[in-house]
A and B are shown apart, each in its own frame.
Chain A
Amino acid sequence: DGGITQSPKYLFRKEGQNVTLSCEQNLNHDAMYWYRQDPGQGLRLIYYSQIVNDFQKGDIAEGYSVSREKKESFPLTVTSAQKNPTAFYLCASRGQGRKDQPQHFGDGTRLSIL
Chain B
Amino acid sequence: KNQVEQSPQSLIILEGKNCTLQCNYTVSPFSNLRWYKQDTGRGPVSLTIMTFSENTKSNGRYTATLDADTKQSSLHITASQLSDSASYICVVTYGGATNKLIFGTGTLLAVQP
Contact = CB atoms under 8 A, between A and B. Distances in A.
A103 B36 CA distance: 10
Given A100-B49, A100-B51, A102-B34, A41 B43 contact: no
The secondary-structure label for the interface of chain A is loop
Interface string A85-113: 00000101000000110111111101000
- Looking at B43, B49, B89, B99, which has the most chain A CB atoms within 10 Å of its CB? B43
A45 interface: yes
Nearest to A42: B103
B32 interface: yes
A48 to B, nearest CB: 10
Interface in B18-52: 31-32, 34, 41-46, 49, 51
A71 to B, nearest CB: 20
B14 interface: no
B101 A106 contact: no
Nearest to B47: A102
Contacts of B51: 100
A42 B34 CA distance: 14
B75 to A, nearest CB: 15
A102 B101 contact: no
B41 A107 contact: yes
Contact of A102 (B49, B103, B105, B106): B49
Contacts of B45: 105
A100 B31 CA distance: 9
A16 interface: no
Contacts of A81: none
A40 interface: yes
Interface string B90-111: 0000000001011111100000
A103 B89 CA distance: 13
Interface of B: 4, 31-32, 34, 41-46, 49, 51, 89, 99, 101-106
Interface of A: 4, 6, 40-45, 90, 92, 99-100, 102-108, 110
8 nearest A-B pairs in the assembled complex, by CB-CB distance: A105-B43, A42-B103, A102-B46, A43-B103, A107-B42, A107-B43, A42-B105, A105-B44
